[in-house]
Structure 1
Amino acid sequence: MDCQVCYALYYDSVTTPCGHTYCRVCLQRVLDHARHCPICRRPLTIQPIIYRDACPENELIRRITTYFWADMLEDRRKQVQADAVTHDAEECDMPLFICTLAFPSMPTFLHIFEPRYRLMIRRALEGNRTFGMVLYNHPGFVELGTVLRIVNVEFFDDGRSLLETVGVSRFRILRSTVVDGYTAAKVEPINDISIAEEEELEAAELRGTAHPHPPPPPLPSTLPPTTDDNTTTSNSKTSAYPPTPTPTLPLPHFPTNVQEIETTPTQVLMDFATDFVLRMQRQSVGWLTARILAIYGQCPHDPAIFPWWFANILPVREMEKYRLLGTTSVRERLKICCGWILEWEATGSRWSFMDCVVL
C-alpha cells in the first residue's frame, strides 16, 4: 500500500486510467513535469489540477488503509498538511513569476510551460488565485512588482496553460527564497497617499512657480451701452461702441518642457495626455491599433487608471515604465507620462525608447 512516487502509505489515492494508483499530491507533482504515468509511461489526459469531483479518491484503498493502518494514515495526513502549510509560510507568502512588468487594473496574459511555474500556478488556483509579477533584471529581478489575480485559465493536453490575469495592487519585496524551484517573497504593499495629501502637494507645487497659470479673464458685459434720449444703439446704424464679442473660455496651457510639467495642474496634465492619445489615433500610429485597444480598452478618462493604461500601450523601455510602480500619487504618475509625451514629440519617429526583453 505504498505510493511508488513518495514510497509512503497512500493518502488521498487516485487511480489513473492506465490502472496505477498514486497519492493525489504526488500525481500532481508528476504532472507538473511530464504527462506520462511514472510506471508504465502511458500518456495521461488528467488535468494538472486534479479536482476531487473529476478524480475522486479510490474508495477501496481508502477503506483498506483506514482499517489496517489508521494510525499511520493519521500521521500521513499530518505530514501532507504540514507540507502544504510550509508553502504558505508567513515569511515568504507571495509566489513570484519573474518575467515582465504588470500594472494595477490592467490585463496580463501568460503562457505557462515551465514545470516550476506549473506548480506555482496550480497552488495559486487552489488558494486565493493570486501571485506576484516582477520584471527580470539580470542576474535576478527588480524590487517592485504587481499582484495579479487569475481571471481565467485554459489547460492544454501537454500540460501547458494560458492565463488571463488582472493587476490588483503593487508591492515591494523585503526578502525572498526559493520554494520547490520557484521564488517566493515577503512583501509590503505600496499605497498611494490620501486625496487630501495629494491636493496639498499639488497646491505647494503650483505656489512654487514663478509664472503661475493665469486665471480666465472676466467675461465682458453684455448690456448695451446707454446713449441720449433721442438715439439708442439698437436703432442707430453707426455707434461709437464696437459690437460685443461672444465670450469664450481660454484654452488650457499645455506644458512644453519638463520644468512646466512640475508646475502644471493635475487636470491640465490629464487633458494634455488624453489630447496626445487622440492625436496619435488620428495619425494611426502603430502602437494604437484596434488589436491593442481590444486588449487594453479605449483611453480611460479616470486619472487614477490612465497612467497604467498608457504605460501598457506606449513603446517605452521597461525600466522607464518601472518608475510608475514606485510612485505614491496620481499626479506623480501623470507627470512621468507627460514627460514621455514631450520626449516623443521632440524626437518623433526617431524615438528610441523601445527595447526587447529576452528571457
Structure 2
Amino acid sequence: MQHHNDILQRYPEVLVSLRRPKCCRRVLRSKKGRLKKEKLCVKRLQSALFNAMDASRKVELFTCPLCRNVLKGPVTVECGHTFCYGCLAENCDVCVICDTEITANRCVNVLVQDLVDKWRDRNKIADNSIPNTTDILGIQPRYHLRSGFAGLQISDENTKSIRTMPNVVEKSTRKFTIAIRNAFKEAETIKDTAIKNCWNTITATDLECILCSRCIFDPITTACGHTFCKGCLTRVLDHGLSCPLCMASLSLKDYSRGTTVVLDQAIRFLLPKEYNERLLIDLKEAQMLNRNSDIPVFICTNAFPGVACPLYVYEPRYRLLVRRCLLSPTRRFAMAAKEDSGEKFVSYGTVLEVKDAVSLEDGSFILTTVGVRRFRVLSRGEQDGYDTAKIQVIKDTVVSSDKLPELITLHHKVYTKASKWITSLTPKVLAEVERLIGKMPRVEKNWLSLPDGPSWTWWLMPILPLSSQLQVVFLSTTNLEKRLRAIDKMLERMEIRMKSLERNTCPLSEDASDSCDSERTIEIPLNN
C-alpha cells in the first residue's frame, strides 16, 4: 500500500482539492447533476495537478535561485551556482545555497549569457521573467492549450479515469492512486515537452566544448567566465594557469571550482541524447585504458614489494597518470628508476597500488602507495605524454628440498642480525624511518612460499646504503638465498663501519669515502 501512496504524499494539494466540494460525498440522482460533478472534479484535479507540479518543479532552466527569474547578467561563483549579477551584488559574501565563500572577482558567464539572449530573442521577452507551468501549457477552464503548444493535452483515457474518481475514492484508495499516478505521469511528460519547446532555440552546437569539440561534460566555468569540460580544463591548467580561450590569468582555485549547475541541468534535460553519447564515450575511453595491456610507468625511484612509497606528484604528465589511475578499478601503476644511459627507465621495478590520495588545490597529489609485485619490462610505449610498458611479473624460484635446511638457518641468522642493527639506530632516526615506510615487518609463517620472499628483506632496501643500480639488481634477482647473503654481507660492513666510526678510524683504506662505500663489496648477477 505504501507504493501506491507515494503520489499522494508527493502532491497532497491534489487530495485536499478533491475533498473540498461537499457534493463529492452525495449521490446525485439526476444524470445532469452527475455530469456536472464529474466536470467539476476534472477541473479541480487538473488545476491542482499542474499547480502542484509547478510548485515542485525539478527543472528550472537558467533561473536565478534568488529572484526565481531567468538569469540576467549570469555570474557563476566558485561552487558552481549561478546568480543574476544584480542579485549577487546584494548577497556578496557567501553562496546562499551552499554557504561557500564568494570572491569579489565576478565575470559574466559568457556561455549562459549567450543562451539566455538567444532564448529572449526568439520569445521576444522584454523582462527577465520566466513563465510557470500554467503559462507554458495555457490551462483554461475548457482545458484547451494555447496555439504555441497545441496538442499537448491529457488523453481521453486518463480524463475518463479522472471523471470516475469521486466514486472511486470512496471504494478503493488503490484504484484512485493508480489513476492519479497515470494522470501525473502524462502531465509531467506534457510539461517537459512544453519546456523543451520553450527552450528549443538551444542546440547541441551551442553546448560544445571549445577544447574537445564534443558536448560539454561536467561543465566548469572559470573566473573569467568561460566554460569547458572539467577534464579538458584540468589538463590545460596542468601546463599553465591561463584561460585557453582568452588567455586571462587563472589561479590555483580554478582546479577546485564546482560544476556549473545551470548548464549541467540544461544539458541533461534539453540534450539527453548528446549527453548520454558523451557519457558513453568517456566510459569507453576509460575501459580502453583499463583493458590496455600496457601499464603506466612513473619514473622516479625504486620501490619494493610490501613497502610503503609516499609520493608527491606535481609534474603535469604524472598528474594525468594519477587521475586515470584513481579512476581505474585496480588503482595501480608501475614505479621504475631513471636509467642513466640509453632507455628512459630501468628494466626492473615494482607495481604500486594507491591506498590513499589527497588532491591539493594546485592540482598536485600526495599519494600513499604500497609495493605489490616486482616486474620486468618487455616493451615500452607512451600515452598522452607519460611512459607505459608491457611488463612481466617475476617471482622467486622454488627452493629444492635439499637446500631448505640451509636456507632456513641462513634466514634466521640474517633476520636476527638485521633486527639487532635496527634496534641500534638512534630513536630519532628509527622514528623517521617508521614514519616513512612503517615498522619492520615480522617474519611471515609462509615466507618460503611467498613470490617475493619475506617482507622484511625488502623493508631494509630503502634504508641500507645502496645505490640505485644495486637496488635494481636486488629487484631483478629471483634467488632468495643470494639476496639473504648479500644483505648479510651488507650488515657486516655496516657493523664494521660503525665500530670504525666509534674509533674515528677506518681500517679498510686510507680514503674514508672508499672504505665506507659498502656498495662495492656486493655483487648480484642479473642472470639467475
- TM-score with structure 2 setting the length: 0.48
Indicate yes or no: 2:376 matched with 1:172.
Answer: yes
Change (3 A) 1:335 1:76: same
Tell me if structure 1 keeps the 8 A contact 2:378–2:390: yes
Q: Which amino acid aligns with 2:250?
A: R
Asked if 1:23 is matched to 2:225, the reply is: no
Cross-structure match for 1:290? 431
Deviations along 1:279-305, whole A, 9 cap, x unmatched? 434543699532113333333331511
The one-letter code matched in structure 1 to 2:340 is H
Question: Which of 501, 506, 516 in structure 2 is aligned with 1:351?
Answer: 516
- CA offset at residue 142 of structure 1? 0.9
Partner of 1:222: none
Which secondary structure does the structure 1 equivalent of 2:239 belong to? Answer: coil
1:210-249 equivalent positions in 2, closer than 5 A: none
CA distance in 2, matches of 1:282, 1:76: 58
Counterpart of 1:16, as a letter, is T
* Match for residue 326 of structure 2 among 119, 125, 132: 125
* Structure 2 residue matching 1:293: 3-state secondary structure: helix
- Please give the residue correspondences for 1:69-80 in structure 2 after superposition, counting only pairs within 5 Å: 70=273, 79-80=281-282
Q: Distance in 1 between matches of 2:350 and 2:384?
A: 22
Q: CA RMSD in A?
A: 3.3
Match of 1:268 in 2: 409
The Cα of 1:154 is off from its aligned counterpart by 1.7
Supply the distance in 2 between the matched residues of 1:272 and 1:57 (Cα, whole angstroms).
67
**CA-CA distance at 1:85 after TM superposition:** 4.6
Partner of 2:148: none
Q: Structure 2 CA distance, aligned partners of 1:90 and 1:162?
A: 26
C-alpha distance 89-274 of structure 1, shift in aligned 2 (>3 A): closer
Contact 2:309 2:437 in 1 (8 A): no
Work out whether residues 217 and 278 of structure 2, in 8 Å CA contact, stay in contact via their aligned partners in 1: no
Q: What is residue 265 of structure 2 aligned with on the other side?
A: 59
Note if contact 1:35-1:45 (Cα within 8 Å) is conserved in structure 2. no
C-alpha distance in 2, partners of 1:133/1:313?
18
Give the whole-Å Cα distance in 1 for the aligned partners of 2:469 and 2:292: 30
Q: Which amino acid aligns with 2:228?
A: Y
What secondary structure is seen at the aligned counterpart in 2 of 1:142?
coil
SS of the residue corresponding to residue 109 of structure 1 reads strand
Give the 5 Å matches for 1:256-335. 265-281=406-422, 283-284=424-425, 288-302=429-443, 304-335=454-485
Check whether the contact 2:252–2:362 (CA below 8 A) recurs between aligned residues. Answer: no
* Counterpart residue identity of residue 355, structure 2: V
Aligned equivalents of 2:427 and 2:483: distance in 1?
A: 24
Deviation at 1:184, TM superposition (A): 0.7
The answer for the alignment partner of 1:157 in structure 2 is 361
Contact 1:300/1:309, CA 8 A, preserved across alignment:
yes
Alignment partner of 1:14 out of 200, 214, 219 = 219
Match of 1:146, SS state, is strand
User: Does 2:307 match 1:142?
Assistant: no
Cα distance per residue 1:214-235 (max 9 Å; x no partner):
xxxxxxxxxxxxxxxxxxxxxx
Q: Distance in 2 between matches of 1:184 and 1:51?
A: 32
Aligned equivalent of 1:339, options 489, 508, 517: 489
The 8 Å contact of residues 310 and 436 in structure 2, kept in 1 or not, is answered as: no
Corresponding residue SS for 1:172: strand
Greater strand content:
1
CA contact (8 A) 1:144 1:172 kept: yes
1:194-249 alpha-carbon deviations (Å, 9 max, x no partner): xxx3242625xx7xxxxxxxxxxxxxxxxxxxxxxxxxxxxxxxxxxxxxxxxxxx
Code of the aligned partner of 2:412: D
Count of aligned pairs: 284
Given that 1:277 and 1:299 are in contact with CA atoms closer than 8 Å, whether structure 2 keeps it comes out as no
Point out the more displaced range, 284-293 or 131-140.
284-293
Confirm or deny: 8 A CA contact 2:217 2:275 kept in the other structure: no
Q: Per-residue deviation at 1:266?
A: 2.4
Distance (Å, rounded) in 1 between the aligned partners of 2:262 and 2:403: 60
Match of 1:231 in 2: none
The 2-side partners of 1:286 and 1:354 are apart by 25
- Cα separation, partners in 2 of 1:305 and 1:76, compared to 1, 3 Å: closer
Superposed CA deviations along residues 32-89 of structure 1, whole A, max 9, x for unmatched, are 33455434433353557x998x9897111333334xxx4x667655654554455345
Of stretches 309-318 and 119-128 in structure 1, the one that deviates more from structure 2 is: 309-318
Give, in whole Å, the separation in 1 of the partners of 2:262 and 2:483.
51
SS of equivalent residue, structure 2 residue 244: coil
Match of 1:41 in 2: 249
3-state SS, counterpart of residue 198 of structure 1 = coil
CA contact (8 A) 1:317 1:353 kept: no
Q: Distance in 2 between matches of 1:282 and 1:35?
A: 49
The two structures have a TM-score, normalised by structure 1, of 0.68
**Most deviating of 345-354 and 168-177:** 345-354
Name the CA distance, whole Å, in 2 between partners of 1:77 and 1:299. 46
Instruction: Please give the alpha-carbon distance, in whole angstroms, between the structure 2 residues aligned to 1:46 and 1:267.
Output: 58
- Cα distance in 1 between the residues matched to 2:229 and 2:429: 50
Could you tell me which residue of structure 2 aligns to residue 185 of structure 1? 389
Conserved 8 A contact 1:3-1:9 = yes
1:116 maps to 317
Change (3 A) 1:150 1:74: closer
RCO comparison, higher one (Cα < 8 Å, 6+): 1
Distance 1:30 1:51, change over 3 A: same
Which of 275, 282, 292 matches 1:90? Answer: 292
Which stretches in structure 1 are left out of the alignment for 5+ residues? Answer: 207-264
| Mapped contact 1:37–1:44 kept (Cα < 8 A) | no
- Bigger helix share: 2
Q: What is the CA–CA distance in structure 1 between the aligned matches of 2:399 and 2:302, rounded to whole Å? A: 26
Which residue identity does 2:365 align to in structure 1?
A: S
Bigger radius of gyration: 2
- Is the contact between residue 34 and residue 159 of structure 1 (CA under 8 Å) also seen in structure 2? no
Matched AA of 2:220? T
| Contact kept in structure 2, 1:35 and 1:158, CA below 8 Å | no
Taking the aligned partners of 1:15 and 1:107, their CA distance within structure 2 comes to 35
